[in-house]
Amino acid sequence: MKAKPKCKWILDVLMTIALLFLMGYQFWGEAVHEWIGAGMFILVIGHQLCNLNWYKNLFRGRYTPMRIFQTVINLMTLAAMLMQIYSGIIMSRHVFAFLPIHGGMALARRLHILGSYWGFLFMSLHLGLHWGMILHTAAKIRNRKKTDESRFAAVPFLAGLTVAAYGLVVFIKRDFPDYMLLKSEFVFMDYEESRFLFFIDYLALMGLCVFLSYYGSKLLKGAGRKSGSYNRGDEKS
């Protein structure tokens, strides 16, 4: 793997891990949550710097359905991350407490809820856009030939479908629709909940988004090839 794609892959992995820890606020407390959030801030900046070419080409070339899908997910992910960063700084009592910020807490709290729940889903969808590269890398690590992958094509699909089904249950059980629509301005947290089950739930929800994004991309690419509008550049971001 070349240096730049490897850097992007490492950043995506670190951001995914940080995102999971940030969603588990009740397990770590306020100070740890803020420091992880500050780390996420740095990772987001690094991710943007690694993708400057994507921004340079944003208004160039033809927009196929796949490229539109990819661009919407990327921009919405960025918007959610910016909401989290802004609101996190405003609400900070530890990492950014030295900043002379006064007021704006009510708006920041709303933005933080929106940024957290929409951001989790969009970042997971963003991860799904790169899932093919992750699977390809994993196959190379296992020293499997590309020609052998078709024999096992049904296995990851069925496994992904199972995880996605459970992720849909988690989406409803953990009241994501209410928080995403800001029907509640306070997030319910079960401080007695098992950490293991919590992360299983959130990994499943992430799996749902990855499944939808990955296979949705494959459908859009297939439709683009049939119509002649598919562009190799659609695979990059």
* Stretch 55-59: mean pLDDT: 93
User: Where does the pLDDT of residue 234 fall: very low under 50, low under 70, confident under 90, or very high at 90 and above?
Assistant: low
Instruction: Determine the Cα–Cα distance for residues 77 and 184; give it in Å rounded to an integer.
Output: 22
Q: Which helix (H) or strand (E) holds 68?
A: helix 65-91
C-beta of residue 74 within 8 angstroms of C-beta of residue 54: yes
Q: SS3 sequence, 20-66?
A: HHHHCHHHHCHHHHHHHHHHHHHHHHHHHHHCHHHHHCCCCCCCCHH
The closest alpha carbon to 216, from 107, 110, 128, belongs to 128
Domain locations in the chain as residue ranges: 3-235
Mean pLDDT (the chain) is 87
pLDDT at 147: 46
pLDDT in tens, 165-222: 999 999 999 999 999 999 988 898 999 999 999 999 999 999 999 999 999 999 998 7
pLDDT in tens, 87-134: 999 999 999 999 998 889 999 999 999 999 999 999 999 999 888 776
Q: What is the pTM of this model?
A: 0.85
pLDDT at 177: 96
Instruction: Determine the Cα–Cα distance for residues 167 and 195; give it in Å rounded to an integer.
Output: 17
pLDDT in tens, 9-52: 788 889 989 999 999 999 999 999 999 999 999 999 999 998 89
C-beta of residue 31 within 8 angstroms of C-beta of residue 94: yes
The closest alpha carbon to 129, from 49, 172, 72, 63, belongs to 72
